Amino acid sequence: MANKFYITTAIDYVNGPPHIGHALEKIQADVLARYHRVKGDEVFFLTGTDEHGLKIFRAAQTAGQEVQRFVDETAQGYRNLKDVLNLSWDDFIRTSDQKRHWPGAQKLWQQIFEAGDLYKKKYQGLYCVGCESFKTERDLVDGKCPDHQKEPEKIEQENWFFRLSKYQKEIEAKIASDELKIIPESRKNEILSFIRSGLEDISFSRPKKDLSWGVPVPNDPDQIMYVWCDALSNYITAIGYGEENPKSPLRQSYSARSDSSETRREASEIRLRPELRPRGNPKFNKWWPADLHIIGKDILRFHAAIWPGMLLSAKLLLPKAIFVHGFVTVEGQKMSKTLGNVINPFDLVEKYGTDPVRYYFLREIASHEDGDFSVKKFEDRYTADLANGLGNLVARTVTLGEKINPVKFDFSADIDLEIKKVCNDFYREYEHALGEMKLHEALASVWSLISFADRYINEKKPWEIKGGEELRKVLANSGYLLGMILNLVEPFLPQTGEKIRKQVWFSDSSVNFKKGENLFPRL
């Protein structure tokens, strides 16, 4: 029976079009999804868009658009990343989807409410619209949000609050023991330090009179769910949470969005009648808990403190692991519309191709750290690693192999022991690196194997061999090396993998060669 592997990215905030930072996370997740499919696992890969909150509402106003139309158009840009980056996601969830997302988000709220973990109070605080979160004085630097360089707004409201403090010790214990594994270790230490400094109860709703754009609170029609409460639930709503029984009275009361006292009374009665509550959803039961959330370092607190607290309150299992990547800068500077250095992934792919873009972000940027983009570094990588490296190896091997195509071989008799050992050693390095979410190191192992294959051909000089058994064995070993490289590189560069398979393939104890297009034309 195949293992299941449920992987998610953070859902992207649609206040603007996608940039290369969004592309990085999607590509990383795609590699891991493809790798697990190759291993024989049953994979579910989820991404999507976060479409509520004050920042979205204001962005739509600035654009002079009705907010639903604004998010529809902007979300499409994120959907389009699938084709341009050759991503293999299985589902795309939008938080403005009232049929798929809202019922589950409201059900999760209700579970937390019934656990006694929501209470209402008046509150005055400092709100950063960019982060969509309240800030304390200790969060600010010179009175400003360090991420957005703006002073937060002073807000006084009566909101629902979530008793996050109640779950502090339990969350800490689960992270410290790696029951909820945080990767890398530096991010684990960071979040543990934050948790140990004290988790405060957090505002979990906003008055509808101040912001009507969002998911209605099911037990209070005058309030809208806090955008992070709504957004984090996407990981379970996309796999059926809240859809256990589409005809249940409870769901109908949620969907009606009625402010009438009669509807509220009926919903209250339903909550007291367990026999009317939806039964478990097979899809949710199959996929949850998530095996891996992939997120940026700026939203670690939401995913490793608030989200586990919500799940514990609702008596749901926690995700198994959270992988935290860094930011992408451009020539050493943070991307900024003001500086005019925001890189559009669509333009980059149009100029260089999909796989070269995937390769750069997977190889040049260390998976656990911040990384930098520059056109010079990109083109240097393209020329050295792709054109002169992998592309040249495939071209020369196929050209030589065509001389006696197909090349018959016996694995046990013809493949050199040294080559078998080298391939096994590099494969172990590759597996270990992927297990630690060090995608750049996994690719480095592949390129070390490419260098080994080049050296093997240079040392054997098959172009000088006149024919016979010696040439057959050299070409069999070269083909075997190329086959191993192909298998390892394909999750990272799937289009390139397809092109190589048209030039090199194995059948009936033979390796076949057929010269095809140049994989990476020189710039």
CATH classification at residue 464:
1.10.730.10
pLDDT at 339 over 80: no
In angstroms, rounded to a whole number, what is the distance separating the alpha carbons of residues 29 and 293? 9
Dump pLDDT digits (tens) for 438-467.
Answer: 999 999 999 999 999 999 999 999 999 987
| pLDDT value for 147 | 65
User: Which ranges constitute the DSSP H helices of 340-391?
Assistant: 345-352, 354-363, 375-381
In angstroms, rounded to a whole number, what is the distance separating the alpha carbons of residues 378 and 520? 14
Q: What is the separation of C-alpha 160 from the centre of its chain, rounded to a whole number of angstroms?
A: 30
Average pLDDT over the chain reads: 90
268 and 127 together in one domain: yes
Q: DSSP character for 11?
A: P
pLDDT confidence band for 120 (50 / 70 / 90):
very high
321 and 379 together in one domain: no
| pLDDT value for 426 | 97
Q: List the single range of 51-55, 145-149, 331-335 with lowest mean pLDDT.
A: 145-149
Task: Give the domain-ending residue among 304, 330, 356.
Answer: 330
Mean pLDDT for 81-100 is 97
In a domain, 429, yes or no: yes
pLDDT confidence band for 155 (50 / 70 / 90):
confident
In angstroms, rounded to a whole number, what is the distance separating the alpha carbons of residues 39 and 5? 11
| pLDDT value for 249 | 36
Domain total of the chain = 2
390 and 260 together in one domain: no
Helices 439-460 and 468-489 meet at what angle, rounded to 10?
A: 170
Mean pLDDT for 304-312 is 98
127 and 19 together in one domain: yes
The three-point CA angle 518-519-523 to 5° equals: 85
Q: DSSP character for 171?
A: H
| pLDDT value for 123 | 81
pLDDT confidence band for 131 (50 / 70 / 90):
low
411 and 294 together in one domain: no
Catalytic residues: 19, 22, 128, 131, 145, 148, 334, 337
Output the pTM of the full model.
0.88
Task: Give the domain-ending residue among 330, 365, 386.
Answer: 330
In a domain, 177, yes or no: yes
pLDDT at 303 over 80: yes
389 and 297 together in one domain: no
- Read off the tokens for 456: 């093997």
Dump pLDDT digits (tens) for 32-58.
Answer: 999 999 999 999 999 999 999 888 999
In a domain, 140, yes or no: yes
Print the domain residue range for 466: 375-513
Other beta carbons within 10 angstroms of residue 369's beta carbon come to 13
At 18, which CATH number?
A: 3.40.50.620
Q: DSSP character for 5?
A: E
In a domain, 11, yes or no: yes
Q: With pLDDT > 70 as the criterion, what percentage of the chain qualifies? A: 90
In a domain, 16, yes or no: yes
259 and 379 together in one domain: no
238 and 322 together in one domain: yes
**Burial class for 308, CB neighbours closer than 10 Å (0-12, 13-18, 19+):** buried
pLDDT at 150 over 80: no
In a domain, 339, yes or no: no
180 and 308 together in one domain: yes
| pLDDT value for 275 | 37
22 and 107 together in one domain: yes
pLDDT at 136 over 90: no
In a domain, 476, yes or no: yes
pLDDT at 141 over 90: no
| pLDDT value for 259 | 39
In a domain, 519, yes or no: no
Task: Give the domain-ending residue among 276, 307, 330.
Answer: 330
178 and 311 together in one domain: yes
406 and 269 together in one domain: no
Mean pLDDT for 343-366 is 96
Higher-pLDDT residue of 134, 170: 170
Dump pLDDT digits (tens) for 380-412.
Answer: 999 999 999 999 999 999 999 998 889 998 888
223, 160 contact by CB (below 8 A)? yes
Query: Element (H or E) spanning 393, and its range?
Result: helix 392-401
484, 452 contact by CB (below 8 A)? no
520, 381 contact by CB (below 8 A)? no
